[in-house]
Structure 1
């Protein structure tokens, strides 16, 4: 009897091939073109009539082992971890150039900012293109913008600091901004002129920009990049006379204007040196929102740094005036930082790949710093990015940026050899993130190999044993709950031809009945009873996830399936 043996597909094909002689290197698809894809290798084997279920199980194990080893090899290749560093860099440079050109062409081919910013048209544009990551819709949320230039994190830190010192220029002109904001205007241009005038008393001259492609910007604060003789936008401002007028959102229009501005040839020499950081300010009536924007390899990343804040004055409310003053002070300091940055951008080499990655390219303490270069993303989730990096001595490491991390839990697991070694966890950075650096492990996630590992009983039991040990013998005795025990957070490693499990991603890990699940937890997934946004962590949640994992991983052998009780 002939069978197709595959980790993905099984079918009895004896009758189909009766009387047909197959050449050793024939493509099976030639015989089964209606049902078999041509993207996998198919192997036909002839099973002896007296083969036992134990022998079939052994064949399954061997095939799944080969499949997992093959996946690890593919992962190494895809991650550019093989080959010389110079060869990798040349390939990356070509990829960067092509991706950047495609981005520029797509942006310049867009309809005008005013037109494309209408909700229906912007929705259609976002459905057809994945280049403007503004968080609208949710599928277009990108990495945190504070990671790409320090100015954004510093702005957030300054604005949230209630003790921030307000300079004299800001203090004296805050009421002028408030007065201009709360006035009622007949037409939008009157609001633009009045508020621009009040802003200029604090920030310096604002100008209306006509791009080379004839698109316009309501207002911009610009500087000249030293030595390059090209203008750089410190801020782009987009106005609507009042909320509900103009038919579109000024933050969306401002984001599109930012993309068009920096895609122009007149800014090319700057664009080839840096990520073009600018503030985008959306104003609708007396309401104002500040966003940060950067121009990356294949996306425009824009993220709100504040809510929409009302700039109106309330009677006998000095605290409210101080809030507006703090916003203006934080912006003024941010503009000063960007002005100095663009004045020195000429010293950055053209077409350097570093401009598309987080600005922090080292880790460690002041007198023990390790520098590295980013190679590529290790995960596809842009909201929780993880990067492979390479140090100056060629060592591969993993870097991520998180708002919360339980480094002691990670260290406890790493001490048992059941998590990658944690090399560094920084204090909180401006903007609220921590840098986490760990060793690179040659592994694949359980999520990527679960269908194969099920066919290998020994591997499945070994991985489950390791994970169970971490949870019940390492974390729980310390009153710690891992909390996010899903297959993407479990690594499968091959040590001396034996597969083991490791845990990664200790972002949610915390003390039971004290720490809580994040508010943004995806409730569309099947969580244990009691898991919900803001709920306290509990050991029983880990235990329920362990049982779920056991059922997913360890399936009965053929002998057990046919056992009659």
Structure 2
């Protein structure tokens, strides 16, 4: 019997962008993982910030790795133990080891912390002598390593309270990529960097080395932040079960400087891709609002329409932490938005969304045109 097509089973797919080669293949696109945990939003914002600097210690360790990365390796286990693991340990300043599971399988590298007597993965790494070696994709292998680790029974109390944020480093030969994974209503993995050439091919590599050093500095800071986050689960500030399924922003600031807290109720689309949520403010009396996450938005046009009663009141448009209102015109380049993710909060209008109405009724209800 033929093996099932990868990503063809709608009951279980990795939402990583790769989709099955079949008609009506299930979508594997998902919301940006930056909305589910601040560590990923901080990571990408650091790399976009020209003032973010590489740590000197990390830069030295990265330079040493670059000098060896393009060496042609003849034996994969040897390559892992003599190249990837030693250099990752020096860069991260942490223990990175191969840790076998109950089936005696392991990722090429794992960095974890013990929380509630369970091994919580902060980082998983997979490495090949060259990309495509053995017909295996190290990126996909790393994704499944993370998924399998989080499926352990002893991790259930943490899975119930978090989105299981985990960093991934994967690649082959002189190429590495940094990815992030979360487990919400679906298992989502996204690329946080391009596939980075970490070798040396020019007599002048300072600028290149510094760019790689910045990326690994952001990784180290992100792993430190994840460790702090997971360790809070042992304390009184641990989130209640199920909150990890929703985005992490839960407040926004008003024009007069007040802070309004809110709680999510449900996604407004019955799809993994939904970036629009129904929420309720923690005021007295509470009110329903729509919270949406965007990479571009016409806030001025929204306010103009709202003033004429043609759109819901816009309560907030700004950074994901809800503290800073934004004007994104400076990020528009050639018609594309080149800035950070934003959060939009507006009044909720009772009624049916286009998602709830059959397409044949859209014209009748005036939802089209």
With normalisation by structure 1, the TM-score equals 0.56
After TM superposition, give the deviation of residue 416 of structure 1 in Å. Answer: 1.5
Residue 306 of structure 2 is aligned to residue 306 of structure 1: no
- In 1, Cα distance between the equivalents of 2:274 and 2:162? 23
CA offsets, 1:369-412, max 9 Å, x none? 11111111102454452100111133111000101111110111
2:98: which partner in 1?
Answer: 208
5+ long unaligned stretches in structure 2 = 20-25, 323-338
Aligned to 2:98, the other structure's residue is in SS state: strand
For 1:275, what is the secondary structure of its paired residue? coil
Counterpart of 2:9 in structure 1 is 127
Aligned equivalent of 1:322 = 210
CA contact (8 A) 1:130 1:140 kept: no
Which of these residues, 18, 27, 51, is aligned with residue 136 of structure 1? 18
* SS of equivalent residue, structure 2 residue 43: helix
Change (3 A) 1:127 1:449: closer
| Matches of 1:317 and 1:327, distance apart in 2 | 16
CA distance in 2, matches of 1:324, 1:192: 20
Is this contact kept in 1: 2:100–2:106, CA < 8 A? yes
Q: After the TM superposition, which residues 29-44 of structure 1 pair with which residues of structure 2 at under 5 Å, given as runs?
A: none
Structure that is richer in helix per residue: 1
What aligned pairs does 1:35-434 form with structure 2 within 5 A after superposition? 123-137=5-19, 139-193=27-81, 194-203=83-92, 204-225=94-115, 228-296=116-184, 298-313=185-200, 314-347=202-235, 348-349=237-238, 352-364=241-253, 367-393=257-283, 394-427=286-319, 432-434=340-342
Whole-Å separation in 2 of the counterparts to 1:450 and 1:269: 41
**What TM-score, normalized by structure 2, do the two folds share?**
0.84
CA shift in 2, pair 1:368/1:426, >3 Å? same
CA deviations 1:517-554 (Å, max 9, x no partner) are xxxxxxxxxxxxxxxxxxxxxxxxxxxxxxxx4xxxxx
Q: Aligned equivalents of 2:156 and 2:354: distance in 1?
A: 44
1:448-492: CA deviations, max 9, x gaps? 25644766xxxx6xx5xxxxxxxxxxxxxxxxxxxxxxx4xx6xx
Q: Is the 8 A contact 2:112 2:119 kept in 1?
A: yes
- How far residue 170 of structure 1 moved from its aligned partner, in angstroms, is 0.7
Name the larger-Rg structure. Answer: 1
Q: Is the 8 A contact 2:97 2:111 kept in 1?
A: yes
Length, aligned pairs only: 338
Over aligned residue pairs, what C-alpha RMSD do you find?
A: 2.4
Question: 1:124 Cα deviation (Å)?
Answer: 3.1
SS in 1 for 2:260: strand
| 1:32 paired residue number | none
Q: 1:128 to 1:418 in 2, by over 3 A?
A: closer
Query: 1:255: Cα distance to partner?
Result: 0.8
| Matched position secondary structure for 2:42 | helix
- 1:299 Cα deviation (Å)? 1.4
TM-fit CA distance, 1:362: 1.0
Q: Deviations over 1:392-446 (max 9, x none)?
A: 1331110001011111101111112111111111147798111000111012245
| Cα separation, 2, equivalents of 1:454 and 1:269 | 48
